Amino acid sequence: MRKSYDKGFKAKVALEAIKEQMTVQEISQKYGVHQTVIAQRKRQLMAGAGELFERPNKKSVTEPETESERDQLLKIVGRLNVEVDF
């Protein structure tokens, strides 16, 4: 049966791997997690660390573009509806 770990435990193991105060093998023995899993968690933490510091209400760069495209499409749909009704 597969083991499942909570987010806190995964973060704790990944942080220990990033600190590099112990080898991956030592961390594996300490927490009972396979070395491959530790390496994956470390990569995930490194890849997603930048997202932790973004403001939650900040609009991304692509949102204004999609909003303007949406407005243009709504105008076209409205115009077509008027033409069909006429």
**pLDDT tens profile 4-49:** 889 999 999 999 999 999 999 999 999 999 999 999 999 999 998 8
Q: How many other β-carbons are positioned within 10 Å of the β-carbon of residue 11? A: 14
pTM above 0.75, yes or no: no
Residue count (the chain): 86
User: Mean of the pLDDT values across residues 52-57?
Assistant: 75
**pLDDT tens profile 64-80:** 678 888 888 888 888 88
Q: What is the rounded CA–CA span in Å between residue 7 and residue 35?
A: 18
